[in-house]
Each structure stands twice: as C-alpha cells, then as structure tokens.
Structure 1
Amino acid sequence: MIIRREGGDPLRLPLVAPGLKVGLFGGSFNPAHAAHREVSLLALKRLRLDRVWWLVSPGNPLKDNSHLPTLEERVVFARTVAAHPRIDVTGIEAALGTRYTFETVAALRARAPQVRFVWIMGADNLTGFHRWQNWRDLAGLLPIAVVDRMGDSLSATASRAARALARDRVEESDAALLPTLPPPAWIFLHGMKSPVSSTGIRAAQSAGAAD
C-alpha cells in the first residue's frame, strides 16, 4: 500500500506515523457538507486527535446506490468541503476491496498497526448500528465516538447497540482518553446540533430540479 500526503490519487492511504491518533469517519458523502466538517472538527478537539480521515465508500451496502455519483466525484467534492489541513479525504475502501466497515477497519489496522484509530459516527448511525455487519466485532476493534445529532440523542442512547455496549461507555469528561483505551469503548459527544444531512440536501436538490 502506498503512503502519501493528502491530494492526488483518491485510492491511496493518507500519511501515517507511529502513535498517530486518527479518527475514521466513513460514509457515502453524497454529498459531503458542512456538518461532516463540524463533526470532524469537534472530534479533533474533544478527542485530541491528530487527523481525521474521511473514508468515502464506493457505496453503502444498506442503501440504494443506483444513483450514486462516482467515487472520484465524491472524493473531489468532499475535499473542497473539508478544506482543513488535518482532514484527509480518501477512497481507500475501493482499493482495499472491502464492503463492510468491519472489513475496512480490520484492513486498515493490519496495514497501520502503529496508528491509534477511533471510529466516528453520528448519533443517527448508532440507532441502526446493530444492523451493521459484524457490529459487535467492529466495537471490539477500535474505540467509537458517537457525535450528537439534532433529534437523535434519545433514540440513539436507547438503541439496541447502545444498551448492549452500555458497560463500555466512557464518561464524556474523559473524551481525550478515548483513543488510548482498549476496545470496546465508546463515548457520546454533545455540542454539535447541525440539522444538515446528505439526505436533506439530496431531497432539496430533487425538489429544485422538479420546479
């Protein structure tokens, strides 16, 4: 696997170094938007991460991908939205040939064992986390940071996965320790209440096109 700095081939691994604390933020990014950036900046600050990688997936196995823009188009646009020296945007999942998050994380850990990875996701994803392939095993691979989303707090913290992992929840005041903790360990971070979503943006675009 080629190691590179941000920019260039979207299928290459971002820069890695021993002891680096990296947040992994995965999704279709269809399209990337300001809330993705806000989540990343919050995680960088609260978890004291060195970098956040946006893992732009070829397609979400739980969603209809028939109208999904190309991976390259989504990576290029995501880079314009991220616009931050500590956020790397990559389509490495396509190069790894992985389909599910568990497979991607396992592959990244094998290729960069010296990096301390943290999975980052919105509270809406925690609500359906139990439907992810090998979700319990994924929680055992790396710590997880769940970022509050408007309207999702109660349903997320009462979800099947949250209840199953209740004993592994870390106090929010210990957020900076999360990257160093052995998994399973997860935290619920408050402070980001943006209502913006990719689904909402696509709906608005479709409505505009129909007018």
Structure 2
Amino acid sequence: MILPPPFGAGQRIGLFGGSFNPAHSGHRAVALYALKRLALDWVWWLVSPQNPLKDAGDYRDYDERLKITRLVARHPRFVVTDLEEQLGTRTTAATLAALTPVLRRGRFVWIMGADSFANLHHWNDWTDIPEAIPLAILARPGFAMRALESPAALRYESRRIATEEARELPGAPPPAWCFIPMPLRSESSTAIRERAKKRKQIVMTAS
C-alpha cells in the first residue's frame, strides 16, 4: 500500500519527477513558476531511485538525494516524496499507471522541462505518459524549438493548449499539453556533479 501525500479531492496538483541528482535552484525555479502559472494547490516532487536512461554509477545515494531535494524544495506548497521508491517503479509510464487510483481523485498535471519533452520519444512506453496525464512543458535554455518540433509535439499537436490558457491544463482530459515560457536558468545537475568531481580530484592531487 502506497502512502501519497494527503490532499483534498479535486485539488490541483503538479507532479514534478526526476532523479534530482542533485536538486538545485533551477529545479526550484521551475516548480515555483509552474505553481503560479498553473494555479496549483501543491507540487509533489517525485525523486526517482534510478533513471533507466542514465548511468547508475553516476548517482548519489538515494537518501542523500532525498535530503538535498527537501532542503532545496522548502516551500509550504511543495512536498518531496519517495513514491517511486514505494511503488518500486523505474519509469514514468509505470509510475503513472500505478498511481491511477490517486490521479482520479484530483486534477493532476505532469511538470517537465523542455529538454525532457524534446527527448520524450526515447523514454520507455513514452506514449503512455501523455495518454495518462496532462503535460506542462517549462522552457529550458536551448530547447524551446527542439521541444516544439519533437516527435511528441508533432504527435499531439492537436491537443496543445495555448500558453495563455495554461490554467486550464490541470485536470484537462489527456492527452493535453502546454508549452510555458519562463525566465531561463543556467543551472544543471550535470554541471554541479562535474564541479564536485573536479574539486575532489584537486583535493586528491594536493594530498
């Protein structure tokens, strides 16, 4: 039995999934912007135990990632969860399928960056995702055009909701998606990990 965060029936909830390896201020900015533009009651951060498209050897300890994400996501309307760990799922499609009974009780939307949407067609069972939940696509540096010309965008072109109508997205019958421009941030988990590796190498060399 899974234990999702408590919420009221019909509330507007954004699911913000990712490995958060590590979480950073850019993630927080996306969550805050989605909270405002989509008029959400909550944003649930779903910290993934393992992204099947990424090298498992490059991952921080799961408990450490949860801890850092909770520090970054301090906000009265943000909840950091281990739902995917509870469910034992490793793909977004499988997670959404397992959460079907929960999704029926609220007006849910999946929050993702334009970089992820541009590559959605590489994800496991990728068409199951937009068929299960509306998608809010937040701009990321260098990915706007790639996202809007991606296989996912072309496949579901007729189901796109205009940016100015973004508040209609939570609870919209899937498939439905909306591209949402936002002030761009340069932070990335990959860059943070690379800096940490370089610092470690410098310390080892000095010793």
Shift of 1:112: 4.8
CA contact (8 A) 2:120 2:126 kept: yes
Worse-superposed segment, 139-148 or 101-110: 101-110
Distance in 2 (alpha carbons) for counterparts of 1:173 and 1:164: 22
Larger radius of gyration: 2
2:156 maps to 1:165: yes
> Considering only aligned residues, what root-mean-square deviation do their CA atoms show, in Å?
1.3
Shift of 1:135: 1.4
2:39 maps to 1:48: yes
- Structure 1, unaligned stretches of length 5 or more? 3-11
> Identity over aligned residues, as a percent?
47
Distance in 2 (alpha carbons) for counterparts of 1:192 and 1:135: 28
Length, aligned pairs only? 202
Distance in 2 (alpha carbons) for counterparts of 1:192 and 1:165: 25
CA contact (8 A) 2:115 2:140 kept: yes
- Please list the CA deviations of residues 59-109 of structure 1 after superposition, one character each: whole Å capped at 9, or x if unmatched: 100110123122211111100011101010011101111121011112122
1:129 corresponding residue in structure 2: 120
CA contact (8 A) 1:42 1:192 kept: no
- Structure 2, unaligned stretches of length 5 or more? 203-207
Q: Describe how 1:36-185 pairs up with structure 2 within 5 A.
A: 36-185=27-176
Q: What SS is found at the alignment partner of 2:99?
A: helix
Q: What SS is found at the alignment partner of 2:169?
A: helix
- Please list the CA deviations of residues 144-184 of structure 1 after superposition, one character each: whole Å capped at 9, or x if unmatched: 00000111111111111111111111100000110131010
2:188 corresponding residue in structure 1: 197
2:178 corresponding residue in structure 1: 187
TM value normalised by structure 2: 0.93
Distance in 1 (alpha carbons) for counterparts of 2:58 and 2:148: 32
Distance in 1 (alpha carbons) for counterparts of 2:129 and 2:151: 15
TM value normalised by structure 1: 0.92
